[in-house]
Amino acid sequence: MHAQNSKKIAVVGTGIIGASWAAYFLARGYTVAATDPAPGAQQRLRSLVDACWPTLERMGLHESASIDRLEFHDNVAATVAEAFFIQESGPERLELKRELMRELDAAAPAETLIATSSSGIPISQVQDVARHPERMLIGHPFNPPHLIPLVEVVGGEATSLQAIDQAMQFYAGIGKKPIHIRREVKGHVANRLQAALWREAIYLVQEGVASVSDIDAAIAHGPGLRWALLGPFLNMHLSGGAGGMDHFLEHLGPPIEDWWADLGTVTLTPELNQTLVQQVNEAIGAGDMARIVAQRDAVLLELLRLKAAHDRLP
């Protein structure tokens, strides 16, 4: 057994994201100490971990992995007292996050890294409450964290380079794909890229260019297949043929700039929201959510397995 797997990770906040993190850490062979003040939180956490476990078994468990290594505590101090790493996934409310970070910093050992799953609150806006702000950073996962490898690591004004390096090594060491975002921006990187696509997709529905189902098909059966393997820049490079990125930019750059100029802006009005909800419900059918999620996860597992076997893919 790897020595670090005998150590403990604290999960603070056990909603959908926190519970998924807890399941993943358990699957990697760690002891997990968790806490959440919401009524019934422990029962919900254990139910969510149980629901994640079959997928994690298919992914492959560490030899020390066990659901029995999950602890639940009624307070933050007991949760983080022996933790070498803290993954905080509390609500996205600034004042609550600041108070929670103050509490974590006061209770955790000085060398313990504190990562927040926040998708929207910059770490610089919360780390000033701490005695040791240098060990605080963003460790933003993608939902569900137990399945999707990406973790966006973002330091704030007071975060040390050592903490960034330690977090990158930790996430990579447990099988994640961490990326270091070098400057704080709203939504980090991946959510900004998603938001750009969502804006145009919703604009096209609003303008009657295409339906929700056709736009989903356009991505799922077109560029989405390539993006899952290479990302946007390597796809551009390959689209340039033998000339690569240089040829792509020379020949397709001007048309792309013309498309950029024609992209739409959109406001989510009640009427537009109703149209989107109606078309999505029509596309997936009533009561089909669980089946779609199960099929999504099954295909994702196979895709991750295939990607791992090919060393030239990102």
The domain boundary, picked from 181, 210, 227, lies at 181
- Find the mean pLDDT for residues 36-60: 97
Both 252 and 272 in one domain: the answer is: yes
Q: What is the DSSP secondary-structure string of 207-248?
A: TTSS-HHHHHHHHHTTHHHHHHHHHHHHHHHHHTGGGHHHHH
**Averaged over 95-107, what is the pLDDT?**
97
Q: Give pLDDT, residue 1.
A: 34
pLDDT of 58 > 80? The answer is yes
CATH code of the domain containing 216:
1.10.1040.10
Structure-block tokens of residue 197? 């696509």
276-313 tens-digit pLDDT: 999 999 988 766 788 888 899 999 999 999 999 999 99
For the entire predicted model, the pTM comes to: 0.94
> Is residue 152 domain-shared with residue 14, that is, in the same domain?
yes
For the domain that residue 74 is a member of, what is the CATH number? 3.40.50.720
The tens digit of pLDDT for each residue in 173-204 reads 999 999 999 999 999 999 999 999 999 999 99
Question: By percentage, how much of the chain surpasses pLDDT 70?
Answer: 97
- 131, 156, 181: which is the final residue of a domain? 181
In a domain, 29, yes or no: yes
Structural domain for 234, as ranges: 190-308
Residues 238 and 123 in one domain: no
| 87-96 tens-digit pLDDT | 999 999 999 9
Instruction: Compute the average pLDDT of residues 249-276.
Output: 97
The reply to whether 120 and 218 lie within a common domain is no
Position 314 in a domain = no
Residues 198 and 155 in one domain: no
Q: Any alpha helices (H) in the chain, and if so which ranges?
A: 16-27, 41-59, 76-80, 94-107, 161-173, 190-206, 212-220, 223-239, 244-262, 270-284, 289-308
Pair 21, 61 in one domain: yes
The count of structural domains within the chain is 2
Judgement on whether residues 116 and 50 belong to the same structural domain of the protein? yes
- Do 110 and 42 fall within a single domain? yes
Please say if the pLDDT value at position 63 is more than 50: yes
Whether residue 227 is predicted with pLDDT greater than 90 in this model: the reply is: yes
What pLDDT does 119 receive? 95
Please count the other Cβ atoms lying within 10 Å of the Cβ belonging to residue 71. Answer: 17
Q: Is 10 part of a structural domain of the chain?
A: yes
Q: Do 10 and 148 share a domain, yes or no? A: yes
Could you tell me if 90 and 13 are in contact, meaning their C-beta atoms sit under 8 angstroms apart? yes
Average pLDDT over every residue of 50-58: 96
Same domain, yes or no: 97 and 246: no
Tell whether 162 and 197 lie within a shared domain: no
**Residue 22 maps to a domain:** yes
Confidence at residue 253, expressed as pLDDT on a 0 to 100 scale:
96
Residues 25 and 155 in one domain: yes
Domain boundary among 138, 158, 181: 181
Full DSSP string of 103-139:
HHHHHS-TT-EEEE--SSS-GGGTGGG-S-GGGEEEE
Distance between CA atoms of residues 239 and 230, nearest Å: 12
Mean pLDDT in residue range 228-237? 95
Residue 313 lies in a domain: no
